[in-house]
Amino acid sequence: MLIHIRHWVIGPPLPTRELEGQSLSKLRALAAFSPDALSSIAYANQEIYLALVLAGSAGLNLTLPVGLAITSLLVLVAISYLQTVHAYPSGGGSYAVTRANLGELPGLLAAAALLIDYLLTAAVSLTAAVAAIASAFPVLWPYRVTVALLFLFIITIANLRGAKESGTVMAVPVYLFIGSYLGMLGYGLIRLLFMPGETPPIAPPQAVAPLTTALILRAFAAGCTALTGVEAISNGVPAFVPPKSRNAAQTLLAMALLMGLLFAGSIALTQAFSVVSGPEETILSALARRIVGSGVVHWFIQIATMLILAVAANTSFAGFPRLAAVLAEDGFVPQQFRQLGDRLVYANAIVALSLAAALLIVAFGGDTHALIPLFAVGVFMAFTLSQTGMVLHWWHERGANWWLKAVLNGMGAAATAVTLVVVGMSKFREGAWITILLIPLMVIAFRGIRRHYAAVRAQLAVTDGAMPSTTNARPRVVIPVSGAHRSALEAVAYARSISDDVTAVYVEIEPDSADRVRKAWQLICPEVPLVAVPSPYRSLLGPLFAYLDELDRCCDDSQLATVILPEVVPARWWQAVLHNHASLAIRRALVYRRRTLGFQRTIIEVPYHLDR
């Protein structure tokens, strides 16, 4: 029954041979790779506003300069990644580039930063999506966490079904967003130029903090989240139609242009119209409301914003599992992340990402602003490492104009490194410390995991003469029984077919029950002796293991020490709650108990199926 539900929700399994690449045209590739980058203006603008509004209208007057500084940074980063696209036509993810050029440790740093980055992209995009839609429909504000989790659930299910179905559907929100925003900005510009004299209808907010350099730096640091997602195309070069690098480069250029236009344009108009927003509205929603007024058009813009943010969260569900699978291939994360599921997706990684994102959303109360300080550190660490790697790449390769290319990437690396320091310091106490702490811990975990796998491989490897010797001795069998039942008899029958040395043992949890059980046993199974073990503390495992240890200490054919567990299996799975699973507890203790006597015991389960 569970399998049927699963098939209905996730879809039937797909055979492995359907695993093939798809090639994307430039228009479809732009839709596939840009949502994260484009949608990040939604929260970046909001963060700049929230930082500067503390200094009142004097602060808000700096919106455009801060925005332009970030746009210049965007230009540098975009140029850097243009070079990566050409240098790594097989996909130049930050982990691959950093590991290849700087070595394993920086590579792992980049990997940790990227995993955190993917996770926060999902969490931040979802909460920002909810903020966008709740700005149009304020009735949703109190339910922000619930709505965000609902979106997350839908995206998780869609990804467990497999990305292919979702590919084309994604293009719609992206172009909807681009179209509606360009339209809105254009209309706003026209109003600004040709309908002057409109005074700002809202009083400028009161300053609650002085306009210090620290405040401006914080606004800059928070706004830098606008750059998240720029690197997406450089990871995905192999997905383009040939000529891959060239098409990817052109798409990257188009994306960067659109990003810059939307970001700088909305920032400029926000300042020009002196837009401010209340606590239950995003600044972009307030801008849209200012330009097009409240009503259906405003709703449409907010819905488009929500959709592209949801799609952006979805891109994490493509990137995270792919990176986790690469790391699992290299042995740095649990092997389960390598397993392709029924639907040819890395289901374990998708579920892990979804759970972690849900945890973040709940822990931070669905508040984008609270999550942002954790976000930018990972992004800019990956940028810096990847660009530094590119500098070394050109240095090693020394092709035509290698020094020019190295200088361009070096400028990118320097700019992102400076930003990393600014972000890390100005947002440290607000949450950046979590990321700064987490990244080295993850690197330590990565290395520990690889050491563990290496140790396991070494221990499981078959060396010469390692074949365990086969003895002619038959196993020495102990059967824990809870009474003179049919299931115990089945176990005895199996035991006698493999051994002549069989003992049944009864742990006397209920006081004074041993005599009764011994008599009943004598009647039905006189050929196997029953040993009763007292249990003054009503514990099952303690006395049983004391008895087993004592028994094994006397004998030397210890290799064949065997415990047979009679297992009563209920007819229906839900009846399991009515049984006490003593045999399961014994089994687990037998398997996981360290071999104190230099050997382990073999466990035999003889199931006895009930019919009703």
Buried b (16+ CB within 10 A) or exposed e, 26-60: eebbbbbbbbbbbbbbbbbbbbbbbbbbbbbbebb
Candidates 184-192, 231-239, 267-275, 578-586; binding stretch for a second copy (CB under 8 A):
578-586
The backbone region for 363, taken as left when phi is positive above 0, alpha when psi lies in -120 to 50, beta otherwise, is alpha
Q: Whose Cβ is closer to a second copy: residue 193's or residue 460's?
A: 460
Q: Whose Cβ is closer to a second copy: residue 9's or residue 524's?
A: 524
**568 near a second copy, judged by CB under 8 A:** yes
**544 near a second copy, judged by CB under 8 A:** no
Candidates 39-47, 126-134, 283-291, 492-500; binding stretch for a second copy (CB under 8 A):
492-500
Q: What is the DSSP string of 112-158?
A: HHHHHHHHHHHHHHHHHHHHHHHHH-GGGGGGHHHHHHHHHHHHHHH
Q: Per the omega criterion (within 30 degrees of 0), is the bond before 242 cis?
A: no
**Any alpha helices (H) in 273-367, and if so which ranges?**
283-292, 296-329, 347-363
Q: How far is the CB of 291 from a second copy (least distance, A)?
A: 38
Helix (H) or strand (E) holding 506: strand 501-508
> Which tokens hold the place of 53?
């509004």
Candidates 132-140, 163-171, 390-398, 590-598; binding stretch for a second copy (CB under 8 A):
590-598
Q: How far is the CB of 167 from a second copy (least distance, A)?
A: 22
**493 near a second copy, judged by CB under 8 A:** yes
φ/ψ of 7, rounded to 5, equals -65, -35
Candidates 7-15, 42-50, 59-67, 280-288; binding stretch for a second copy (CB under 8 A):
7-15
**538 near a second copy, judged by CB under 8 A:** yes
Taken in order 170, 172, 176, 178, the sign of the CA dihedral is positive
β-strand partners of 475: none
**486 near a second copy, judged by CB under 8 A:** yes
> Which tokens hold the place of 339?
């397993």
β-strand partners of 205: none
Query: Contacts with a second copy in 8-67 (CB under 8 A)?
Result: 13-17
Q: Whose Cβ is closer to a second copy: residue 100's or residue 449's?
A: 449
Q: Whose Cβ is closer to a second copy: residue 89's or residue 334's?
A: 334
**524 near a second copy, judged by CB under 8 A:** yes
Please pick, from the candidates 494, 505, 507, 548, the single residue that binds a second copy as defined by CB under 8 A.
494
Taken in order 438, 440, 443, 449, the sign of the CA dihedral is negative
**164 near a second copy, judged by CB under 8 A:** no
What does the alpha-carbon distance between residue 45 and residue 181 come to, in Å, rounded to a whole number?
14
Query: Contacts with a second copy in 260-319 (CB under 8 A)?
Result: none
Q: Whose Cβ is closer to a second copy: residue 151's or residue 332's?
A: 332
Q: Whose Cβ is closer to a second copy: residue 13's or residue 210's?
A: 13
Please pick, from the candidates 25, 168, 336, 401, the single residue that binds a second copy as defined by CB under 8 A.
336
Q: How many residues bind a second copy (CB under 8 A)?
A: 80
Count of CB atoms situated within 10 Å of the CB of 436: 16
**590 near a second copy, judged by CB under 8 A:** yes
What does the alpha-carbon distance between residue 486 and residue 587 come to, in Å, rounded to a whole number?
20
**591 near a second copy, judged by CB under 8 A:** yes
DSSP 282: -
Q: How far is the CB of 467 from a second copy (least distance, A)?
A: 6
**363 near a second copy, judged by CB under 8 A:** no
Task: Please give the C-alpha separations between residue 577 and each of 13, 241, 398, 510, 606, in angstroms, as whole numbers.
Answer: 31, 56, 69, 21, 20
Please pick, from the candidates 496, 516, 519, 553, the single residue that binds a second copy as defined by CB under 8 A.
496
Query: Contacts with a second copy in 438-477 (CB under 8 A)?
Result: 449, 452-453, 455-456, 459-462, 466-475
**513 near a second copy, judged by CB under 8 A:** no
Contact indicator for 301, 177 with CB cutoff of 8 Å: no
SS (H, E, C) 234-292: HHCHHHECCCHHHHHHHHHHHHHHHHHHHHHHHHHHHHHCCCCCCCCCCHHHHHHHHHH
> Among all chains, which residue has been given the structure tokens 């992102």?
416
Taken in order 190, 191, 197, 202, the sign of the CA dihedral is negative
Q: How far is the CB of 381 from a second copy (least distance, A)?
A: 26
DSSP 365: T
Identity (one letter) of the amino acid at 85? V
Candidates 234-242, 356-364, 435-443, 491-499; binding stretch for a second copy (CB under 8 A):
491-499
**537 near a second copy, judged by CB under 8 A:** yes
The pairing of beta strand 561-569 with beta strand 476-480: parallel
Q: Whose Cβ is closer to a second copy: residue 27's or residue 355's?
A: 355
Count of CB atoms situated within 10 Å of the CB of 70: 25
Q: Whose Cβ is closer to a second copy: residue 359's or residue 493's?
A: 493
Please pick, from the candidates 339, 401, 513, 522, the single residue that binds a second copy as defined by CB under 8 A.
339
**351 near a second copy, judged by CB under 8 A:** no
Q: Give the SS3 label for residue 563.
A: strand
Q: How far is the CB of 506 from a second copy (least distance, A)?
A: 15
**Any alpha helices (H) in 162-243, and if so which ranges?**
163-194, 213-223, 232-235
Contact indicator for 395, 414 with CB cutoff of 8 Å: no
Q: How far is the CB of 398 from a second copy (least distance, A)?
A: 40
Q: How far is the CB of 357 from a second copy (least distance, A)?
A: 19
Q: Whose Cβ is closer to a second copy: residue 367's or residue 490's?
A: 490
Q: How far is the CB of 152 from a second copy (least distance, A)?
A: 20
Candidates 70-78, 188-196, 210-218, 483-491; binding stretch for a second copy (CB under 8 A):
483-491
